[in-house]
Chains A and B, each alone.
Chain A
Amino acid sequence: MAYPQNTSDSERSSLSDQSVSSRSFNRSLRVAEKKRRKDTAEDPFFLALKYFSDVEAGTPVTGNDELERNLVLVEKVAHSKGLSPEAISIMLEFAMSLRMGNSPCVRVLKCLIPASLVPQDAIVRGVVWLCVGKIPIATQVLFIKWVLTIFDLVDAKDQLRAIYGFIFSFITEENLCPFICHLLYLLTRKENVRVFRVRKLLELQSKLGRQPFLIHLLSLYKVFCPELVTLSIPSRMKSGFRNHNSTWKSVLTGVQKRNGFHIPSSVAFTIKDKTSSRKRKHCHLELPALTSVANKEAQTEQFSSKKVVPLVQLHSFSQLLENLHCIELPAQMGSLLGSTLALHYLDCVQDESALLRLNFWLGYAFHEEFLFCGDGGTTQNSEEALQFLNKLLSAQHFLQEGFSSSESFLYKFLKVWDGSLLCPQILALLSNIPVVPSSQIGTILFEPLMQLFLTSSLFFKCGLMECLNNMLLKWLTWHSVYALEDDLDISLNSHTSINMTLSGFKDSVMELVHFVGRLASVGLQLEGCHALLLSFILDFYETVCDTFQKYGLPLVIVPPPGVFYPALFATDPVSVDRLAYIMYRYKVNLMSAKSQEKLTKQAFHISRQTFCEFNQSLVVMVNCLWNSKMFNPGMAVQLGDELLLKSNVPQYWASFDLIHHPAFMSYAVDFHQKCWPERQDMDLSSIKHSKPWSWYLEYLFTQGYEGLKHFFQTNISQQMTAGDGQSNTQQK
């Protein structure tokens, strides 16, 4: 009711500011307005609203046809087009005043679907009626739920914040408490955090137990005033407040979609994305509240003497720097994701409340849209979800770290994921998660991933391998950036400040590498050593083999036999070449670790076992490819002599040297033809003689097999004749 009054107020004040030339324009506008009003006077909907605003208290409900007719009309309009701000004011006032008792009140509340905005004054008046205390408790709950649902559509929040104390007083009412907590969470600012409120919340907590809604509110208080809240807050909390807006949400979504949810451009946020039109979710929706607060700045200052600058008014980086200390965050924290300036702010500011609120917003959106969807997930693959996740990913990419809410979402989502829904986005999010402590990594990450990996297609297997490689790369990069050399303590995530000791970090990396080793071995077995999968696995080991040299992490883990042998006996030369390169890098890492160990006594210790495993693989490789001594006694792969003879393979010991290896045979044939073009019968073994052998190697190296080149240059002593080249594998 107060709302139309308000608009004319501002109209008048703006009029006085206008220059003379624009007055005539305004006059014509007003004439048009008057004409419109005349038209609407006959509109049945308008008459219905008039009925509700004028109806006397105590008018009987039963048998009142006029009420029934008008109410049905309002409901029809609400569900089809939504109600205008004025209509919302009138209907809410009618309902909350209980002029005709409780039953029409509930009915009205259920149909309060806003077409665009909700005037703040209407809600303030609603709260006033709550204070009167005549309303049944179930209806009070319904009202607060409604406020929570439309919270983002409220045109300004300053007056609501001004009555923070009144709203807080409802917290003692047990049924209202969860919803009031949620509302307070959305309204709280630093100046609202007071000792007596904290005390009240703690008292409630001791009475009701550790309820998630209380903990959430307390955690926000703690962020604002850590000195007031000494309680320890669990770092992983149950996701957010419960979803309680299902009554209105689907209708609201429908109405807004139909309306195109057009907000006048004067109150639209600059980074608004016109294509997305749903409330609360999916990034930068319109932020009406934000700009209205800005318009009423004079009013705001009555309540807080501190000057605040809304983020929306900043347009350049220098402006951001000037106002960094007094930024007002938008009501919908998700809007930060779409604006680079806001991301800069998040990145450089130490204030944890912004991140906490953003995480809260995200956690809520994830929960509602992906984990527990009202429609059973039919619209999940929609463009909107895709855009949302992409936006989130680019924000994470910008900040170079994942949000904790997306992390805890993933742990839950993996357990109900079908392995294909939004697969690229989910895998990308997964690769952004910060280091997981090794005590938990198995149960929350590896088990669901293992189940998904083994029962999914080849392409999923490749995708997951790539994702795990990226995850490892990020962890190693964090380590090399944040590791403090002296106390071996690394702070991995600047915002959540998870502190981890070096040995803890090493354990997690080790777990991850061993896990991928297991996955890779079984995966190759199931897929018949598919070359594509093998390539992704070798990508991973290219990261693993360089952990010491490239990232300074004192850890060397050699590939398991299930990966080593399929790569060594692969039918494509590229895989063998990459394996040779990986072995070469392992050797470089191990040698430098060894020399460091000699140099400084306190250098890290690489277990004998690692050297043994590596040397064994190296001997196998050299014997196989170079010495033609396959199946020699003492090697890892052993077969009985009788069995080998029975196989009738001639010269079985040479069948995997560089000439007869299935991957290189075609090169050998090609080389043979080039070398002895006049020869009619091909004798590949003749390449094995000392001179053509060195030519053949040169020939292979010129074909781009750099890995093999590095491998042989570091492992085969040059002065030895090719025929009995000695492997230089004695590292221990």
Chain B
Amino acid sequence: MSQLRPFSKLPALNTATVLLVENEEQFQQSLAEALVEETSVTVNVRLSKSLPLPTDSDDSRPRIDLVVFIINLTSELSFQSAEASLKYLDPGYFLGKVCFMVTNGRNASVPMERLDAVRKLAATLHCPLLFAEDKTPDGVASAAERLWTILKVAAGLVPITTALYLSNLSRCTLPPDIDQPSFN
């Protein structure tokens, strides 16, 4: 089983690389286009349907600073695929270099259990969980901006901050159920 390792390669100067993993391959393209518009440093965006990544391109691939799992909540497959991909990541990634991005979070057809499952997954892995509005241009731009905020830190571009520090502070927590009768 080939795992992706966070520190097996040297970082390039003024470069940040992000890997977007999405089973549907719908949102990652527009997100990538919005991300590379950042001009202050070189942003490399790698796209993948799932992990593991093919081994033959191992050498040409730059060091990946941040892995983003995009989960479409309307599809169970999307969640399962992300969950299955997780084991191809080196544990070092979970020290602040993984985040989850969820789309369709406010859709009526999404079962509450699936959202809870995603939340639980992110919480147990101590990763941040972002929500995104992938249907509107503003939503895409905002999602890209938020990813860039995390990527900057993960790529070591922000002085006196580390990826682990940010991720630890912004990691997902399991909220109490407001609807429970005990909540009063």
Q: Does A62 contact B (CB under 8 A)?
A: no
Q: Knowing A376-B107, A456-B146, A526-B166 are in contact, say whether A412-B131 is a contact too (CB < 8 A).
A: no
A190-198, A365-373, A593-601: which lies at the interface: A365-373
Q: Quick check: B106 and A416 within 8 Å, CB to CB?
A: yes
Bound CA–CA A412/B115 (angstroms): 13
Q: Quick check: B166 and A238 within 8 Å, CB to CB?
A: no
Q: Does B169 contact A (CB under 8 A)?
A: yes
Q: Quick check: B135 and A377 within 8 Å, CB to CB?
A: yes
Q: Quick check: A374 and B158 within 8 Å, CB to CB?
A: no
Q: Quick check: B184 and A448 within 8 Å, CB to CB?
A: no
Bound CA–CA A420/B166 (angstroms): 20
Interface centre among B115, B130, B150, B153 (most CB of A within 10 A): B130
Q: Quick check: B135 and A416 within 8 Å, CB to CB?
A: no
Q: Quick check: B106 and A236 within 8 Å, CB to CB?
A: no
- Chain A nearest CB from B103 CB (Å) reads 9
Q: Knowing A372-B108, A380-B133, A418-B143 are in contact, say whether A454-B170 is a contact too (CB < 8 A).
A: yes
Secondary structure at the A interface, as helix, strand, loop or mixed, is loop
Contacts of B115 in A (CB 8 A): 416
Q: Does A246 contact B (CB under 8 A)?
A: yes
Bound CA–CA A412/B112 (angstroms): 12
Q: Does B173 contact A (CB under 8 A)?
A: yes
- Chain B nearest CB from A235 CB (Å) reads 6
Q: How large is the interface on B (under 10, 10 to 19, 20 to 34, 35 or more residues)?
A: 35 or more
> Which of these, A380, A443, A454, contacts B169 with CB under 8 Å?
A454
> Which of these, B104, B132, B141, contacts A376 with CB under 8 Å?
B104
Q: Knowing A411-B178, A418-B132 are in contact, say whether A236-B158 is a contact too (CB < 8 A).
A: no
Contacts of B153 in A (CB 8 A): 526
Q: Does A528 contact B (CB under 8 A)?
A: yes
Q: Knowing A234-B181, A236-B178, A448-B175 are in contact, say whether A377-B106 is a contact too (CB < 8 A).
A: yes
Q: Quick check: B104 and A525 within 8 Å, CB to CB?
A: no
Q: Quick check: B136 and A380 within 8 Å, CB to CB?
A: yes
Q: Does B105 contact A (CB under 8 A)?
A: yes
Q: Does A11 contact B (CB under 8 A)?
A: no
Q: Knowing A376-B74, A377-B135, A447-B173 are in contact, say whether A371-B178 is a contact too (CB < 8 A).
A: no
Residue in B closest to A232 when the chains form the complex, CB atoms: B184
Q: Does A160 contact B (CB under 8 A)?
A: no
Q: Quick check: A455 and B108 within 8 Å, CB to CB?
A: no
Q: Quick check: A417 and B131 within 8 Å, CB to CB?
A: yes
Q: Does A378 contact B (CB under 8 A)?
A: yes
Q: Quick check: A246 and B108 within 8 Å, CB to CB?
A: yes
- Chain B nearest CB from A355 CB (Å) reads 19
> Which of these, B133, B142, B143, B181, contacts A377 with CB under 8 Å?
B133
Q: Does A243 contact B (CB under 8 A)?
A: yes
Contact mask A415-428 → B, CB, 8 Å, 1/0? 11111110000000
Q: Quick check: B178 and A408 within 8 Å, CB to CB?
A: yes
Q: Quick check: B150 and A418 within 8 Å, CB to CB?
A: no
Q: Quick check: B175 and A378 within 8 Å, CB to CB?
A: no
Contacts of A522 in B (CB 8 A): 169
Bound CA–CA A707/B184 (angstroms): 45
Q: Does A450 contact B (CB under 8 A)?
A: yes
Q: Quick check: A457 and B149 within 8 Å, CB to CB?
A: yes
Contacts of A8 in B (CB 8 A): none
- Which A184-233 residues sit within 8 Å CB-CB of chain B? 210
- Chain B nearest CB from A147 CB (Å) reads 21
- Chain A nearest CB from B184 CB (Å) reads 5
Q: Does A632 contact B (CB under 8 A)?
A: no
- Chain A nearest CB from B173 CB (Å) reads 5
- Which B162-184 residues sit within 8 Å CB-CB of chain A? 166, 169-173, 175-176, 178-179, 181, 183-184
Q: Does A247 contact B (CB under 8 A)?
A: no
Q: Quick check: A456 and B149 within 8 Å, CB to CB?
A: yes
Q: Quick check: B175 and A415 within 8 Å, CB to CB?
A: yes
Contacts of B104 in A (CB 8 A): 376-377
Q: Quick check: B131 and A416 within 8 Å, CB to CB?
A: yes
Q: Does A314 contact B (CB under 8 A)?
A: no
Q: Quick check: A370 and B106 within 8 Å, CB to CB?
A: yes
Contact mask B27-52 → A, CB, 8 Å, 1/0? 00000000000000000000000000
Bound CA–CA A525/B161 (angstroms): 7
- Which A439-459 residues sit within 8 Å CB-CB of chain B? 443-444, 447-448, 450-451, 454-457
Q: Quick check: B145 and A457 within 8 Å, CB to CB?
A: yes
Bound CA–CA A418/B145 (angstroms): 11
Q: Does B128 contact A (CB under 8 A)?
A: yes
Contacts of A526 in B (CB 8 A): 149, 153, 158, 161, 166
Q: Does B1 contact A (CB under 8 A)?
A: no
Q: Quick check: B105 and A416 within 8 Å, CB to CB?
A: yes
Contacts of A381 in B (CB 8 A): 136, 138
Bound CA–CA A447/B149 (angstroms): 19
Q: Quick check: A455 and B146 within 8 Å, CB to CB?
A: yes
> Which of these, B108, B145, B160, B170, contacts A451 with CB under 8 Å?
B170
Residue in A closest to B74 when the chains form the complex, CB atoms: A376
Contacts of B158 in A (CB 8 A): 526, 528
Contacts of B105 in A (CB 8 A): 416
Bound CA–CA A236/B184 (angstroms): 6
Q: Does B98 contact A (CB under 8 A)?
A: no
Q: Does B54 contact A (CB under 8 A)?
A: no
Bound CA–CA A236/B180 (angstroms): 9
Contacts of A416 in B (CB 8 A): 105-106, 115, 131
Residue in A closest to B115 when the chains form the complex, CB atoms: A416
Contacts of A371 in B (CB 8 A): 106
Contacts of A411 in B (CB 8 A): 178
Contacts of B135 in A (CB 8 A): 376-378
- Chain A nearest CB from B118 CB (Å) reads 11
Q: Knowing A421-B139, A526-B161, A528-B158 are in contact, say whether A243-B149 is a contact too (CB < 8 A).
A: no
Contacts of A444 in B (CB 8 A): 175-176, 178
Bound CA–CA A304/B162 (angstroms): 71
Bound CA–CA A381/B140 (angstroms): 13
- Chain A nearest CB from B14 CB (Å) reads 16
Contacts of A377 in B (CB 8 A): 104, 106-107, 133, 135
Contacts of A372 in B (CB 8 A): 106-108
Bound CA–CA A421/B171 (angstroms): 21
Contacts of A528 in B (CB 8 A): 158-159
Interface centre among A246, A418, A443, A448 (most CB of B within 10 A): A418
> Which of these, A210, A415, A420, A450, contacts B170 with CB under 8 Å?
A450
Q: Quick check: A412 and B138 within 8 Å, CB to CB?
A: no
Interface centre among A236, A448, A450, A451 (most CB of B within 10 A): A451
Q: Quick check: B128 and A451 within 8 Å, CB to CB?
A: yes
Q: Does B129 contact A (CB under 8 A)?
A: yes
> Which of these, A373, A408, A418, A451, contacts B139 with CB under 8 Å?
A418
Contacts of A238 in B (CB 8 A): 179
Bound CA–CA A236/B106 (angstroms): 21
- Chain A nearest CB from B65 CB (Å) reads 15
Contacts of A380 in B (CB 8 A): 106, 133, 136
Bound CA–CA A451/B131 (angstroms): 11
Q: Quick check: B142 and A419 within 8 Å, CB to CB?
A: yes
Contacts of B175 in A (CB 8 A): 415, 443-444, 447-448
Bound CA–CA A447/B172 (angstroms): 8
Bound CA–CA A243/B143 (angstroms): 29
Residue in A closest to B132 when the chains form the complex, CB atoms: A418
> Which of these, B108, B142, B176, contacts A418 with CB under 8 Å?
B142
Contacts of B166 in A (CB 8 A): 454-455, 526
Contacts of B170 in A (CB 8 A): 450-451, 454-455
Bound CA–CA A374/B153 (angstroms): 37
Contacts of A421 in B (CB 8 A): 133, 138-139, 142
In the assembled complex, 5 residue pairs joining A and B whose CB atoms fall closer than 8 Å, in A order, are A234-B184, A381-B138, A418-B132, A525-B160, A526-B158
Known pairs A243-B108, A418-B139; list 19 more (Cβ under 8 Å): A236-B178, A372-B106, A376-B104, A376-B107, A377-B133, A377-B135, A378-B136, A380-B133, A380-B136, A416-B105, A416-B115, A417-B131, A418-B133, A421-B138, A421-B142, A454-B169, A455-B150, A457-B145, A526-B161
A-B interface, 5 closest residue pairs, ranked by CB to CB distance from nearest: A420-B142, A454-B170, A372-B108, A416-B105, A376-B107
